Amino acid sequence: MTDVTERVPKVPPLVEMTEFWTDLSPESRAEILSEAQLLDFAAGETIEIDFGLMISGTAAIEYMVGNGRRCLVELFHSGDLIDLCRRERRPQGRLVGLGYGSMLVLSVADFEACARHHADVLAAYRRRVEDQTGRLRDHINDLAVKTPLERIVAVLFELRRWPEARLGEATDIILPILRKDIAAYTGMKPETVSRALRRLLEAGLIRSGAHDRETITLIDPPVLRQIANGSASKTLEEGR
Amino acid sequence: MTDVTERVPKVPPLVEMTEFWTDLSPESRAEILSEAQLLDFAAGETIEIDFGLMISGTAAIEYMVGNGRRCLVELFHSGDLIDLCRRERRPQGRLVGLGYGSMLVLSVADFEACARHHADVLAAYRRRVEDQTGRLRDHINDLAVKTPLERIVAVLFELRRWPEARLGEATDIILPILRKDIAAYTGMKPETVSRALRRLLEAGLIRSGAHDRETITLIDPPVLRQIANGSASKTLEEGR
DNA sequence: CGTAAGGTTGAATATGTTCAACTTGGGTGG
DNA sequence: CCACCCAAGTTGAACATATTCAACCTTACG
């Protein structure tokens, strides 16, 4: 373990709290740590890694296409595995920090070897992959068929599920990303995000701190859930 | 190997051609086959599996939300691994056939064990996961920021990359799915798909068989590539 | 031959975007 | 400490464009 502390001088206790990590046995953790490196990042920074584990903060894969169009294709939070090994596929994508955060940089080869030696590592890896793939699929559904209002509420619930959010009140959401990034993630313009949130406010379905726009309180979760699922009746149409 | 032929009475030669399969060693193949079952499906059929390998045909994960909105979240073709083990996440999604096809149904536990014993299985699995995840990310980008025209061209290129398509001319695409499914996949309505294709036809960028609407020929791949990437100049604006 | 489903087309509508102006909050430097 | 600046966010009006709705054509199939 001396080797571990040398290579990862300051493993923050936050690592111990990530979902992926808690699935692992002590031996597996030690083996993974022995080859890992810690990486801190800040907002706007391009993160140049192939493979790693999110410890804290928020990161995203950002695509750029012509005309200044920007899209956050996938959001990463604590416990997510980031895999960009086949980056060649699409040169226009990059991993970018959306705030201060840190991650464990892993070697793919070492990780694969570890997964073959320890059943729990492979199982945890697969769980993660399935979870993150499920999120991508849900998000595709959101983008493909949902209205801006539905998308915003869906994102609120998605952010509500983040590990960090579980610490607070069940109905309080402290937005971990900017509104313009929510827009880039939901395929809308900042103006549209603003209008959608206003409609929710005016309908009395959410509340927002007077001064801190980061905090959003869900007032009527059941109705909001219906809206997010796209199965809402005319509840909001009246207030239009 | 007698056991194999018993459990999988008629392993079609098509299996041997799938991308995933060709990455495996003979021993790995035998071990996987020994626990596999063959499953045929037809268009519109719900495919009830947890884990499997696409052999031929097309399948998709279909989401339904209120108001009759239907979305094909992910398309699967020969060589794709299908993993629905954590289906609980979203009860509204189902795996559905988009035509006749077949797949190998695998046991997750057996597959995981196999991946731990054979490095090539784990590597091939990870390659597949990375590939399919990359497709999901690209598709999210398409849905989030691209115009209908750009989406259609992007889909044409995506379908062009399918293993089955590689057999034909490099510029010929035999659409493996219906237009209404293209619409459900690209988050548009069938009318919009039709109009976008017409614009491409009128601009002389693609050609289509007079009677078989399934065949589409790319006349100007470089320009189409630019359109798909969202970096096209005004090429098409004139022809509007 | 008749039906049903997929696909196409046109006109009217609904709605997200664009553009511009404005407000707000956080940071910097004098 | 205050003035200043900048990015983020908001709002309204005009605009662009995908959807809706309806009619119609085509093909496959019993």
Residue A211, CA distances (Å) to A160, A165, A166, A170, A215 in order: 21, 20, 23, 21, 9
DSSP string, B55-79: EES-EEEEEEETTTEEEEEEEE-TT
Interatomic CA distance for residues B112 and B75, integer angstroms: 24
- Compute the mean pLDDT over every residue in chain B, rounded to the nearest whole number: 88
Token pair 């659409």: residue? B175
Q: What is the CA radius of gyration of chain A?
A: 19
pLDDT value of position A38: 92
Model confidence band, residue B90 (pLDDT cutoffs 50, 70, 90) = low
Distance A10 CA to D27 C1' (A): 69
Model confidence band, residue A10 (pLDDT cutoffs 50, 70, 90) = low
As beta bridge partners, residue B94 has B62
Helix, strand and coil percent figures for chain A, each rounded to 5: 50, 20, 30
- Please give the model's pTM, rounded to 2 decimal places: 0.92
State the amino acid at position A108 in one-letter form. V
Strand C reaches within 7 A of the A194 CB: no
HEC sequence for A68-137: CEEEEEEEECCCCEEECCCHHHCCCEEEEECCCEEEEECCHHHHHHHHHHCHHHHHHHHHHHHHHHHHHH
Q: Of B6, B11, B8, B9, nearest to B21 (Cα)?
A: B11
Closest nucleotide (C1' vs CA) to A178 is D8
Q: Which of residues 156-195 of A touch B (CB under 8 A)?
A: 184-187
Task: Tell me whether A91 touches chain B (CB under 8 Å).
Answer: no
pLDDT value of position A91: 67
Nearest protein residue to nucleotide C24 (CA to C1' distance) is A211
pLDDT value of position A56: 92
CB B65 within 8 A of CB A230: yes
Model confidence band, residue A240 (pLDDT cutoffs 50, 70, 90) = very low
Distance A147 CA to C15 C1' (A): 10
pLDDT value of position B233: 64
Interface with chain B: mutation pick from A67, A110, A140, A223, highest number of B CBs within 10 Å = A140
CB B235 within 8 A of CB B187: no
Interatomic CA distance for residues B196 and B113, integer angstroms: 48
Q: Say whether pLDDT at B18 is over 90.
A: no
Interatomic CA distance for residues B88 and A46, integer angstroms: 35
Mean pLDDT throughout B51-80? 95
Interatomic CA distance for residues A220 and A205, integer angstroms: 5
List, for residues A160-186, the tens digit of each pLDDT value: 999 888 777 778 899 999 999 999 999
Helix (H) or strand (E) holding A215: strand A215-218
pLDDT value of position A64: 94
Q: Say whether pLDDT at B239 is over 70.
A: no
Q: Say whether pLDDT at B56 is over 80.
A: yes
Strand D reaches within 7 A of the A193 CB: yes
pLDDT value of position B89: 65
Q: Say whether pLDDT at A113 is over 80.
A: yes
Strand C reaches within 7 A of the B197 CB: yes
Distance B179 CA to D27 C1' (A): 14
Cα dihedral B208, B214, B215, B219 sign: positive
Task: Tell me whether B39 touches chain A (CB under 8 Å).
Answer: no
Strand D reaches within 7 A of the A165 CB: no
